[in-house]
């Protein structure tokens, strides 16, 4: 009985270590994700918008440069980038805010809901160490059935991670299903979808209601 008890204790310790490792992995994958708040002026007046964005790097193409990535409907142009406040939060630590630098670089591919803009080296130097950018893959295309994770802020407050699964790819758009009981709410647009290797492969646009249920849509980063 004592040996059995010791075996159970060892199993509990292993499970606790595995849960701790998984938690740290999720924290690492979710780092560099921010709340984006911006006021956009149009013909009807000034509208306050909230979304999600993330820091990204292209180690194989533009090494040493830091970018902010989100949806085009969150930051539609350079002027909105200039007015945007991006806030990074970490449990038990004060938040850190920054503004992107579109004058150094801004790109919004036509007809696609994705935007990428530069973050200056001065701003990048001041980022907390726990805010690590996402490594972005411009060649990766998730296969149907592939497991993905979506990390984002819902309604500009709660940071959440959602288990997802790729359904299909049409052009530069990824269709995916959310496996979690909860769904990404308003404000999660612009969240990164990462693969098992921890690489960001797509940018979440929103949810669509189909006859078969609810599915997500995301712009593949290869579109950049």
Judged against a pLDDT cut of 50, whether residue 26 lies above it is answered with no
> What pLDDT is attached to residue 22?
46
Lowest mean pLDDT among 4-8, 101-105, 111-115, 178-182: 4-8
Structure tokens at 208: 């669509």
Q: What is the pLDDT of residue 102?
A: 94
Does residue 99 fall inside a structural domain?
Answer: yes
Question: Model-level pTM greater than 0.85?
Answer: no
Please tell me the total count of domains within the chain: 2
Q: Is the pLDDT of residue 9 over 70?
A: no
Same domain, 65 and 114: yes
Confidence of residue 4 (pLDDT cuts 50, 70, 90): very low
Q: What share of the chain is helix, strand, coil (3-state, %, to 5)?
A: 20, 45, 35
Residue 206 phi, psi dihedral angles, 5° rounding: 165, -175
Whether 2 is covered by a domain: the verdict is no
Q: Which position has the token pair 């984006």?
A: 36
| DSSP string computed for 138-186 | SS--PPTT-EEEEEEEETTTEEEEEEEEEEEEETTEEEEEE-SSS---T
> Same domain for 216 and 152?
yes
Tell me if 52 is assigned to some domain: yes
Is residue 177 situated within a structural domain?
yes
CATH code where residue 186 lies: 2.40.10.10
Rounded average pLDDT over 52-62 = 85
Q: What is the pLDDT of residues 75-100, one digit of tens each?
A: 999 999 998 999 988 766 667 888 89
114 and 194 assigned to the same domain: no
Integer angstrom CA distances of residue 18 from 5, 11, 149, 160, 208: 20, 10, 18, 20, 35
Say if residue 199 is in the same domain as residue 162: yes
Is 17 within a domain?
Answer: no
Same-domain check for residues 153 and 117: no
> Residue 59 belongs to what domain range?
33-125
Q: What is the pLDDT of residue 155?
A: 76
- Clarify whether residues 141 and 219 are in a common domain: yes
Domain boundary among 81, 103, 125: 125
- 82: CATH: 2.40.10
Confidence class for position 5, pLDDT limits 50, 70, 90: very low
Number of H helices, E strands in the chain: 3, 14
Domain assignment present for residue 215? The answer is yes
Residue 146 pLDDT exceeds 90 = yes
Tell which of 90, 125, 160 closes a domain: 125
- Looking at residue 70, the DSSP 8-state letter turns out to be E
pLDDT of residue 30: 62
Query: How many other CB atoms are there within 10 angstroms of residue 170's CB atom?
Result: 9
Residue 71 has pLDDT above 70, yes or no: yes
**Looking at 104-113, 151-160, 166-175, which range is the least confident one?**
151-160
Rounded to 5°, the CA angle 223-160-72 comes to 30
What is the chain's mean pLDDT, rounded?
81
């Amino acid at each position: 009985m004592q040996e059995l008890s010791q075996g159970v204790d060892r199993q509990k310790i292993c499970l606790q270590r595995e849960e701790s490792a998984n938690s740290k992995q999720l924290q690492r994958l979710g780092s560099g994700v921010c709340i984006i708040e911006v006021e956009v002026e149009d013909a009807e007046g000034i509208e306050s918008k909230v979304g999600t964005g993330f820091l990204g790097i292209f180690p194989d193409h533009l090494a040493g440069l830091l970018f902010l990535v989100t949806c085009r409907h969150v930051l539609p142009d350079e002027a909105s980038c200039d007015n945007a406040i991006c806030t990074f939060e970490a449990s038990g630590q004060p938040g850190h805010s920054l503004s992107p630098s579109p004058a150094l670089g801004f790109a919004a591919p036509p007809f696609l809901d994705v935007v990428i803009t530069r973050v200056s080296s001065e701003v990048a130097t001041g980022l907390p160490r726990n805010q690590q950018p996402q490594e972005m893959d411009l060649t990766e295309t998730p296969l149907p059935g592939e497991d993905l994770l979506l990390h984002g802020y819902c309604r500009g407050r709660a940071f959440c991670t959602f288990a997802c699964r790729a359904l299909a790819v049409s052009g530069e758009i990824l269709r995916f299903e959310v496996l979690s009981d909860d769904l990404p709410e308003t404000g999660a647009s612009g969240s990164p979808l990462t693969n098992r290797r921890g690489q960001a492969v797509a940018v979440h646009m929103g949810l669509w209601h189909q006859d078969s249920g609810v599915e997500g849509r995301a712009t593949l980063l290869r579109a950049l």
